[in-house]
């Protein structure tokens, strides 16, 4: 009997231990956009291996030839530029673009490039963004030798989670995001049951490890979740910088 209690105690301790060991990346107690917050360690990524071809069950959102799967957010055609070589470029001032279709849980691959030569600094340098469900921004920024606040650099969940490391490539070099996203869940009355979740690889390196946003993205504030549709478009941000994108594909994890 005594032995059983001992075993149980050991089991409980080991469960507590493993849940601590695998606990989620913390948002910490730092104020939003704090410049005192330590910056992620710089890690040089491995040799480029892009583009990554889409698997057979992926929906290709952009193959370099057409913006047909994108719109301007008001139902009109996307106004960004198609660039020779199979890329699109933000047409500054024309507004963000979004997919014509909505998605919930998804695996999303995006390749992007910061403008070269680099202009500006801090947030005013190669800024764009990938918005899951049009609400949760994975920041796109030229974070190569460009200091900004930790929760606003490339591969941050903007205003919430800095990336685990800064694995940015130089302006003019293609970079990749591989994003695994789970949408928030609500009950019938609109009460939040489960927050959204992100796991992200930047240039093949883990930068967000199953993090839970505290709500949709906003600048200088952290608004709460609000119940809404299960599927919403993926957005790309016009932050007035000519950032380029190519080879965007998605695996719809909720497709029946
Ligand atoms: Mg942005």
**pLDDT tens for each residue of 41-82:** 999 999 999 999 999 999 999 999 999 999 998 989 999 999
Distance 166 CA to ligand 1 centre (A): 16
Q: Please give the tally of structural domains in the chain.
A: 1
Distance 114 CA to ligand 1 centre (A): 12
Distance 239 CA to ligand 1 centre (A): 6
**pLDDT tens for each residue of 222-248:** 999 999 999 999 999 999 999 999 999
**Domain membership of residue 148 as a residue range:** 2-252
Which residues of the chain have a pLDDT value below 50? 1-23
Q: Residue 133: which CATH number?
A: 2.60.120.560
Within 13 Å, how many C-alpha atoms sit on residue 106's CB side? 26
Do 47 and 174 touch, CB atoms closer than 8 A? no
Distance 153 CA to ligand 1 centre (A): 9
Enter the pTM of the model: 0.90
* DSSP helix, strand, coil percent of the chain (3-state; round to 5): 10, 30, 60
């Amino acid at each position: 009997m005594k032995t059983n209690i001992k075993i149980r105690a050991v089991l409980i301790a080991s469960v507590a231990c493993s849940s601590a060991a695998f606990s989620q990346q913390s948002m910490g107690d730092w104020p939003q956009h704090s410049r005192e917050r330590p910056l992620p360690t710089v890690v040089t990524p491995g040799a480029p291996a892009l583009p990554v071809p889409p698997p057979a069950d992926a929906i290709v959102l952009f193959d370099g030839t057409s913006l047909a799967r994108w719109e301007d957010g008001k139902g009109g055609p996307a106004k960004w530029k198609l660039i020779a070589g199979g890329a699109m470029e933000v047409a500054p001032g024309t507004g963000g673009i979004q997919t014509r279709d909505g998605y919930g849980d998804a695996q999303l691959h995006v390749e992007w490039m910061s403008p070269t030569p680099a202009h500006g600094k801090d947030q005013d340098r190669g800024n764009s963004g990938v918005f899951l469900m049009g609400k949760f921004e994975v920041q796109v920024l030229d974070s190569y030798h460009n200091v900004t606040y930790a929760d606003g650099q490339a591969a941050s969940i903007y205003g919430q989670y800095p990336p685990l490391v800064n694995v940015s490539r130089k302006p003019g070099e293609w970079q990749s995001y591989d994003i695994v996203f789970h949408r928030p869940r609500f009950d019938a009355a609109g009460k939040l049951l489960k927050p959204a979740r992100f796991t992200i690889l930047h240039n093949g390196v883990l930068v967000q490890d199953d993090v839970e946003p505290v709500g949709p993205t906003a600048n200088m504030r952290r608004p709460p979740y609000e119940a809404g549709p299960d599927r919403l478009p993926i957005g790309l941000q016009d932050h007035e910088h000519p950032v380029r994108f190519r080879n965007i594909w998605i695996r719809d994890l909720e497709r029946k």
